[in-house]
Amino acid sequence: MICEQMTEQLGLYLDGELPSAAQDDVEAHLLTCSSCQADLEALRDLAAELTTPSNVPVPETLWTAIEQRLDAELQTGASRDAQVARIPAQAEASGSRKSAVRLLLFRRAPLGLAAAIVLAIGLSVFSPDWTDSTAQASSVDFSVLLNALPIDAQKAFRKFLAFYDAKEGTSLEAKRYAPDLNFELPETLPGGFHLEAVYLLRFGHLPGVAASYERDGEFLGVVFHRPVHKENLGPHKDYPCMVGQHEGHKVSVGEWKLVHLMDPTTCHCVLSRLDEQTELVGVMAAITPDLSTGHSQHNH
């Protein structure tokens, strides 16, 4: 079984929906393919995250806002006027007008429609709250990249980009797409690396930028994102390091290193095989504006 076929089977395998013969084929392939093992682990992590319940506080003004919105909608036509006329009787019977609104939503409308009404009204009333810091990405999952590194670094980088739904763009588009990030994407990096492609991606509600470079067949990848609460590294360990005179951190997988330097607005990440005391110093300086000021440091 080749990896392309495996990709189509992993979801069914994880859900236990494959016939026994197909399940045996998948398990046999997983024993020898670390790349597909990493894909399966990523699916497991995603499934666990989606099934983990989260406590979302309901604003005290929610029902009041829903009532006001319903009043405005119900008063636009004669049939809706009749519904409004019935609300006071329902409210009197239940003891409050708030109960009447609940009755209108959940007794008269089918359950799916009632849920849609609440969701639509709630989002439209409170939509500004979804753009604040509480709704922003609190972590970046680098395990998707790191788990596949020993097999093929470029393939691992593409998996990370696909995981965050990256779209190809240009350096100019990247600047416009993420104006709050502090980064540069020169056509040529110190040491002779040439820019191959630029990508626009999102970490939660926050924009991010990535790019791939090449030097005589040698790959180098960069990622820029806002400082986050946590970086998910899977089983890999994070160690402090120095890039020239600047404090950073790195994760080593074989001969590959994911090195990070951070300033107040941006985490600058480089995936390469370069030594952090020699060639990587110039590369980091080229993609990290004001690196010479000494502001960049590890602060995750």
**pLDDT per residue rounded down to tens, the chain (300 residues):** 567 667 677 778 877 777 877 787 888 887 888 778 877 888 787 777 666 665 556 665 666 667 666 666 556 554 545 554 554 454 444 444 444 444 444 443 444 444 444 444 444 444 333 333 333 456 799 998 999 888 899 999 999 999 999 999 999 999 999 999 999 999 999 999 999 999 999 998 899 999 999 999 999 999 999 988 778 888 888 889 888 888 899 999 999 999 999 888 999 999 999 998 899 999 999 999 876 544 444 444
C-alpha 297: how far from chain center: 23
Q: List Cβ neighbours of 107 (8 Å cut-off, separation of 6 or more).
A: none
Tell me how far apart the alpha carbons of residues 220 and 214 are, in angstroms, rounded to a whole number. Answer: 6
Beta bridge partners of 224: 209, 268
Q: List Cβ neighbours of 185 (8 Å cut-off, separation of 6 or more).
A: 171, 174, 195, 198, 209, 211, 222, 287
Altogether, the residues listed in the chain come to a count of 300
Residues 27-46, buried b or exposed e (16+ Cβ, 10 A)?
eebbeebebbbbbbebeeee
Residues 259-298, buried b or exposed e (16+ Cβ, 10 A)?
bbbbbeebbbbbbbebebeebbbebbbbbbbebeeeebeb
**Nearest to residue 274, comparing CAs of 255, 251, 295?**
255
Give the DSSP per-residue string, 28-49.
HHHTT-HHHHHHHHHHHHHHHH
The predicted pLDDT at position 40 comes to: 80
Tell me how far apart the alpha carbons of residues 140 and 225 are, in angstroms, rounded to a whole number. Answer: 9
Is the entire prediction scored with pTM above 0.85? no
The predicted pLDDT at position 19 comes to: 81
Helix/strand/coil for 288: coil
The encoded tokens of residue 225 equal 């994102």
The encoded tokens of residue 26 equal 């998948």
Cα angle 114-115-118, degrees, rounded to a multiple of 5? 85
Q: 181 near 209, Cβ under 8 Å?
A: yes
> How big, in percent rounded to 5, are the helix, strand and coil portions of the chain?
45, 20, 30
The predicted pLDDT at position 30 comes to: 77
